[in-house]
Amino acid sequence: MNSYKTFFLGIIVFFLLPVNAAYAMHISEGILPLKWALIWFIVAMPFVAYGLYQLNKLSSVDISFKPLVGLMAAVVFIISCMPIPVPTAGTCSHPCGTGLSGILVGPAISVLITAVALLIQALFLAHGGLSTWGADIVSMGVMGSFAGFLTFKVLKRLKLNIVIAGFMGGLFADWATYLTTSVELASGIKGDSPFLPLFWKILLAFIPTQLPLGILEGAMTAGMVVLLYKKRPDILVKMRILKPEEVAI
């Protein structure tokens, strides 16, 4: 119950925040042709379904797992509601939070969390869209979550410090999201034009905002992982992020 209260409290807080202007975020409604919107939807749905399966499986074993998922849902929702418009790309830059959720609850459940956050944003905040929901799930949920999770795991296996692993996980999750978004936009709107020139133009349009945002998200992810390591290392052990012998007693 606490997990749902946390999630909805986060939504209420967001609505109460003062804003000067509203911008369409993620890939805006109507940007992608129907064919490409359908393709990305088909790609996304198996990941969402597997995330739901994993959530039911893990929460049946550990009842404390759902509150953690609820907290991560609130984090992803709030973080991904911070727009920096990129007019030349037809979308916005923003931090994602999926690197952190991918590391803490696993990439599959992180995809599910992202799908729910994106759906609520599309329905109530006009961020993204229903026709582009699948594409947004693939870029932010699938690519962001798996890039963050795999980067963190590989660097930990290479015996790198948890701070470096967390930072690079958050950084690569953010950059992977916008690399994929560039692919999706270029594929959908190129028409009869060549794919690569448009892809590079869109990717370059993201760099001035997403380069520093990626670094910021890396620092945020590292900070959250280190905070848990110091305050609640049992969560990191429970989620198999750390081995019991890696936790200082």
Domain-embedded: residue 198: yes
Q: How confident is the model at residue 184 (pLDDT cuts 50, 70, 90)?
A: very high
Residue type present at position 186: A
**Per-residue pLDDT at 90:** 53
Q: Return d(Cα 99, Cα 145) in angstroms, integer.
A: 5
Q: Is 238 helix (H, G, I), strand (E, B) or coil?
A: helix
Which has more confidence, 31 or 36? 36
* 27 domain-assigned: no
The amino acid present at 50, given as its one-letter code, is Y
Q: Which domain holds residue 60?
A: 32-246
Q: How far apart are CA 200 and CA 132, in angstroms?
A: 21
Decide if 24 is inside a domain: no
Tell me, what's the pLDDT at 212? 84
Residue 43 lies in a domain: yes
User: pTM, whole model, 2 decimals?
Assistant: 0.82
Please work out, in degrees rounded to the nearest 5, the angle formed at the alpha carbon of residue 211 by the alpha carbons of 236 and 47. 50
Lowest mean pLDDT among 16-25, 130-139, 221-230: 16-25
For residue range 95-108, list pLDDT tens digits in order: 788 999 999 999 99
Better-scored residue on pLDDT, 91 or 37: 37
CA–CA distance, 217 with 168 (Å, rounded to integer)? 9
Q: What is the DSSP string of 169-233?
A: HHHHHHHHHHHHHHHHHHHHH-TTS-HHHHHHHHHHHHHHHHHHHHHHHHHHHHHHHHHHHHH-H
Residue 58 maps to a domain:
yes
Largest Cα separation within the chain, whole Å, is 62
d(CA 213, CA 175): 9
- Lowest mean pLDDT segment, chosen from 10-19, 25-34, 43-52, 214-223: 10-19
Residue 20: pLDDT above 60? no
Average pLDDT over residues 178-189: 90
CATH value at residue 91 = 1.10.1760.20
Q: Model confidence at 110, in pLDDT bands (50, 70, 90)?
A: very high
Assess if residue 5 is contained within a domain.
Answer: no
Residue 46 lies in a domain: yes
Look at residue 14 in the predicted model and tell me its pLDDT. 39
Q: At residue 53, does pLDDT exceed 90?
A: yes
Mean pLDDT (the chain) is 83
CA 235 from chain center: how many Å? Answer: 20
Q: Please report whether residue 210 resides in a domain.
A: yes
Band (pLDDT 50/70/90 cuts) for residue 29 is confident
pLDDT for position 56: 92
The number of distinct structural domains making up the chain is 1
**pLDDT at site 213:** 85
Beta bridge partners of 91: 27, 86
Span 115-162, pLDDT tens digits: 999 999 888 887 778 889 999 999 999 999 999 999 999 999 998 999
Residue 85's pLDDT is what?
Answer: 63
Predicted pLDDT of residue 24: 45
Pairwise pLDDT comparison (189 vs 24), residue with the higher score? 189
**In the predicted model, what is the mean pLDDT of residues 80-85?**
71
